[in-house]
Structure 1
Amino acid sequence: MSVTVYHNPKCSTSTKVVALLREAGHDPKVVEYLKTGWTREQLQDLTARSDTDLKGLLRKMGTPAEELGLLEADVSDDALLSAMVEHPILVNRPIVDGPKGVVLARPIEKALTVV
């Protein structure tokens, strides 16, 4: 099975994860999600196979999360999904999808746990 990295090339952590996987002998498929966007189904699948939920994937810094009310304790998964699809920057990165599961690779070494 291949390895996919949902990547933002402007993010140093994301760039380091791609390099780490390549140095470990993997040839990851790199998806620049700010260009391709997300679907609800894609985000639901990634979270279902990961060790986190949608709130765990929510990026707060440098995003409209607070203005959109997404930091409130009672925000629903449906509201998070809708916002993440509309504003791809709300999804934290890098997400690594490998044969052993899905992780938000922070710290970067977590990427190696799913390959």
Structure 2
Amino acid sequence: MTTTLAASVRGPQAVCRLRAGQTLAGLINGPQGAVFVSGGGFIAGQIMQTVISPDLCAYELGWFASDRSGLRLLRAFEAWAAEQGATLVKMSANGGAAQRILERRGYTVAEVQMVKAI
């Protein structure tokens, strides 16, 4: 699913299945990470502080669904984040259905991430 996710968002990095597996295993086994899975999707993230605030923030590290489970996965992630004491959830989207789902749930654009291959 990580390969399909990267292709669907035209990600600038090639997927390393070993690294993806290690990261997901770390999130599953670590106290500040979570991975929620459906039949055709997943959402993965971690709880962290930002550099500007001691408040906890839930960062989405990957979100993909090909089976219409995206909203269900997002709700599970938000509930988990609240249980962990997060005051903010950061999600990524590049337009399309994901961004529409987020906007309907009350998310707003806070910044745009720019990338450059070097």
The structure with the greater share of residues assigned to helix is 1
Q: Do these two structures clear the TM 0.5 threshold for a shared fold by scoring above it?
A: no
Question: TM-score by structure 1 length?
Answer: 0.30
The structure with the greater share of residues assigned to strand is 2
**Larger RCO of the pair (alpha carbons < 8 Å, separation 6+):** 1
Question: TM-score by structure 2 length?
Answer: 0.30
